[in-house]
Each structure stands twice: as structure tokens, then as C-alpha cells.
Amino acid sequence: MSRLARSLPIGALLVLSLAIWLPRLRGPIDLRWDGGTYYVLGTSLAEGRGYRLLNEPGEIEAVQYPPLLPAIVAVHQWILGSSDPMIVGHWLRLTFFVMFLVSVLATYALLERVLPPAWAFVAVSMCVLHLFSMFLSELLFAELPFLLASLLFVFWSGVGSPRERPFLSGVCATLAYLLRTAGVALLIAWVGESVLRREFRWAAVRAAIALVPIVGWQVYIAGVQAGASYVTPAYPYQRAEYVFYNVTYASNLSLRDPFRPELGKASFRDLAVRVARNLTRLPQSIGEAVSADKGDWHNLLARLPGAQLRAGTYVRSWAVSVALTGLGMLVLVGVAIQLGGSGRLMGLYVLAYCGTVCLTPWPAQWRRYWFPLAPLLVLALVQCLLWVGRRGILAGSAPGRLVARMLPAVVVAVVLVVELFTVLHAYRTIRGDAVLHDQRGSPVRFSLFFYGQPDRELDAALEWLRGRGRPGDVVASAMPHWAHLLTGMKTVVPPFERDPSRAEALLDSVPTRYIVMDADTTRMMRGSAGAITDADGRWTRIYTSSSGLVAVYERTSAARTEEVAGGMKPRP
């Protein structure tokens, strides 16, 4: 193939990537949810305080997230000489944009090794146009850099090529683990491939390399857990197993239900049931990962002619579930094909990753968990479709050969149509304008995915609270790290308690001065929120958003006086 012919699909992919990114280059990267956690940890590193959650009372050492992404945040803050989320966040957005472009090129370079160029181009386009590819590429989560490290690992491991670069593969595998603990799946696949090839000396070398980041991170965690601040936390539930930001994944996963801690620890039978249920969800979830979410399929079908026929809702639900499950099964067949051929490493990685996902009790989070694996899942889908097409051409009748020949193009075309519809729908409905203020008070205007009126009102409430609260005050919020960035105050997760008296006692023990009540906080507190805020004389509503979706409550002076009488530190 000529150099011009090879450069055309690369140029087209870059143009496509630029087209979907140019409207999104303004403003800071999305720092909500876990993004705020990574940013706070990065600030701690940049200021030389160690690996600490600066939002927490006592500024406790972090044990959940490996440190590489916070280190990237710290480097940005060192270079810019600022910790302002609006300033540093903008440069982080640009960095993630560059990472996205490099990941697109790496995906095409990898897929071109094992697919015809036209199919490699189509497969990469399917990855680029997935809604969560766009969403997670502008969110300060570890998924995008983890995806890039994984792609480079597979590329330098010689998949589809006889040239293998062991040193670079080892570096990328280590970086992947230091970005996300799910990187252990990559390390398992790396060692497992050598074992299956009966290269036991190489397996031992790879295992030794894999143990370096794993053991290093676990030794650090053990040291923190043995420390006085962990054994005697700043408030009673600071290291409770359900406070997922403050404990390890292993601690959080040990609960039967992390959002209902009163159910207690999970037994071996509970874990087995969890894995079994997750295995039944796996095909449909993988089908969503290579196309679009089930709800987006419904939205598209609802706009087709005849969609409003009687019982249409039931038919659509049934048809979408079957279609997504079918896509997922095709992907798994493609993984089996890889295991039987030269793509053994990729197949092992997908299986190991699926195993780690099935251990989790949060199916709602799977949509983002699949993002780093999406190129390999799409590759498995295309390989399966092409394999079916070849088999049908060789063995079927004339009509069967025609169907088999058309199947890959039809399936891929349907997926691309659904993705394009989903992206257009998302820009119209779930991408909203945000206006926040930097540390100098200047407004910063930008837009974010999944940013609607409730999010806008929450941010307004937090910025209002910044002007009222004092540095020593503590705020309870469902997004404590984001609340810390906007208010400058110490912030905690509310207790996951149904019993109002126990929840009240735990909030007193912090002690919490403000509660930001939105839908997520109410959901976390599971019924105790209303009882606490309605308690006579204990809390006063001091702020209500325009539509009433968000409210801020302050503990009354009388309640703070009780704290002093009870021996707690006096408050301003």
C-alpha cells in the first residue's frame, strides 16, 4: 500500500477527532465525582504534603487510587505555579485532548496489524463516536490514560507483528497498574501468555516485573493502615468500609452492598452469587460498550415510523435487549477466536478484565469500566463478523453466502447509526453550559456532558457557601472533593445510615456544620436525610436553589453549644 493510501484513513480519523473536540476545548476539565479526588491528591503532591486527601479533616493519607494520575495533576500545578482548578483544569483538558488524539492513532496502528485497512478505519471510528469515549475523554478520571497505556502495551508486545519490545511492554504494564488497580488484568494476561506459550523463563521475568508495582502499592497501603491516623481517625466513620474514597477497593468490596452497610460483610456465597449475576449481565453490557447504552437504543427506536404502535414499548425493550446481548455474544466469540490465534494476549487481557469487572457490585459503573477496553472489544466484534462472513461464503448456499457477506457491513452500519444519533442527542439534551468562578472571582464559561439543571444549582449552592463558610467549617456533600474545590472548606461524605439518630450522631462527631442536600446526598442517606433536616431546632435551612432541587442546611447555634458542653472543640 502506498504512503498516501495509508495516510488517508489516519487523516480522516484525526479530522473526525478534531471535529468532535473543537466545541469542547474551552474551560477546565470535568472535576466532578472521582475527578475531584484525583485533583485534591495532585494538589497534595504539588504542595509537598504527601499523598493526602486535603478535603478531609485531618488530611488523611489516601489508599484507594494508585498515584500516577494525581502525579500528572501535580506536574501541571508545578509548571503553572497555581492550584486554581479553573486554570490548571483548562490545561488538563488540553492534555487529555492530546492523549485522546494519540490513543486514536495508537488504536489504528494496532488494529491495522490484524484487520484490513478499511475495517481498521471503521473499527476506530466506532470507538471515537461512542458517547462515553467523548464523555470520559474530558473527565479527570484515569480511564483515558489507562486506555493509552494499555494500547501501547499491546502494540509493543508484538500483537500482529513478530517484533516484540519487552522493556517498553513492561513499562506500559507498570504504568497501567499505577493508573488503575484494574491494570492487574493486564499484568495477569502478560504473564499468562508466556505460560501458555510454555516460555516459563519469560513468565518468571514478567511475573517479577509485575510484582514490583503491585507489591510496592500494597506495602504503602499496609503502612498507612498500620498508622495511628488510620487506627484512630479524625471522626468515627472516616475509615468506614462504605466510605469508598477513604478505604481500599478490597475493603469496600468486602461488604454485601456498599450502599447498605447494615447488611454486613459478604460471605463466600455472597461473592459467588455476585459474580454469577454479573456474568449474566456481561453480554448485554459488552454490547452497550461497542455501540450505545440501552436507553439510547430506545430513544432511537422511539423515533422510527410505527414506534408508537400498541405494545410498542414492550417490543422495543425486548428487541433492544436481544440486539445488545447478540452484539456482546459476537464480541465474546471474537475473543475466543483471538485465543485460538495470534491475538492470545488480547484475548487473555479481555478475559482477565471481565473477571475483575464481575467482582464489583456496581453494574451502573460498568459503562466507564469498559472504555479502556473498547478498542479490543470492537476489534473482537469485527473479527467475529469477518470470520462468520468467510465461513458463510465457503459453506453456505447462494442466499446464505449473500447474507454472510452482507452481515459485517450491516451490523457495523447499524452500530454507527446508533452512535451518531446518540452523540447528536447528547449534544442537544445532556450537554449543558456551566459558569464557575476562579479563585480571583472571574467567571469561566464552558460546557460539560451530563450537566443539567440539578448540577447547575448544586454548583451555585457550593459557590454561595464559599462566601459564607470559614476554613475550619466542615461540609457534608455527596461529592466532597468537588465541594472542597468550590468552597475551600473541609468536606466529608454523609453517613450511609437509615437510622436518623445514628446518622445525626455521626454528623455530630465530625462535627459537620453544613449539609448540602441534593438528590445524591438524599440517596446516600436513604431516608435519614429528611428526618435530620426536619429535626426541631438542630438544623436551619439557609439556602434553597431556584427550583428547590438543592438546599443547604446549617447546624444551629444551640446545637453547636451542645457540642462544646459535650467536650468537643468550640466552634466559631
Among 381, 397, 429, which residue terminates a domain?
A: 429
Asked whether residue 442 is domain-assigned, the answer is no
394 with 483, same domain: the answer is no
Asked whether residue 377 is domain-assigned, the answer is yes
Which pLDDT score is estimated for 303?
72
Asked whether residue 554 is domain-assigned, the answer is yes
Which pLDDT score is estimated for 1?
56
425 with 458, same domain: the answer is no
- Is beta strand 539-544 parallel, antiparallel or unpaired with respect to 551-555? antiparallel
* Alpha carbons 494 and 506: distance in angstroms, whole number: 9
Which pLDDT score is estimated for 315?
53
Which pLDDT score is estimated for 374?
96
First CA to last CA distance, the chain: 74
Asked whether residue 68 is domain-assigned, the answer is no
Sequence-separated contacts (24+) of 387-394 with Cβ below 8 Å: 387/333, 387/334, 387/337
Contact 493, 524 (CB under 8 A): yes
Contact 464, 112 (CB under 8 A): no
Which pLDDT score is estimated for 149?
96
98 with 214, same domain: the answer is yes
272 with 396, same domain: the answer is yes
Number of domains in the chain: 2
Alpha-carbon radius of gyration of the chain: 25
Asked whether residue 274 is domain-assigned, the answer is yes
406 with 481, same domain: the answer is no
Asked whether residue 402 is domain-assigned, the answer is yes
The pTM assigned to this predicted structure is 0.93
Average pLDDT, 10 consecutive residues per value, the chain (572 residues): 74 93 93 97 97 96 96 98 97 97 95 92 96 95 97 85 76 94 94 90 92 95 94 94 94 91 92 95 96 88 61 63 94 94 90 95 91 96 90 66 81 94 90 92 94 95 88 92 96 92 91 94 83 76 92 76 39 34
350 with 212, same domain: the answer is yes
DSSP percent split of the chain into helix, strand, coil, nearest 5: 65, 5, 30
510 with 414, same domain: the answer is no
213 with 91, same domain: the answer is yes
Domain range enclosing 528? 452-565
Report the 10 Å Cβ neighbour count for 468: 14
Asked whether residue 325 is domain-assigned, the answer is yes
* Alpha carbons 194 and 207: distance in angstroms, whole number: 10
- Is beta strand 443-449 parallel, antiparallel or unpaired with respect to 551-555? unpaired
Among 394, 429, 464, which residue terminates a domain?
A: 429
274 with 372, same domain: the answer is yes
467 with 425, same domain: the answer is no
144 with 205, same domain: the answer is yes
Asked whether residue 138 is domain-assigned, the answer is yes
358 with 409, same domain: the answer is yes
* Alpha carbons 438 and 452: distance in angstroms, whole number: 21
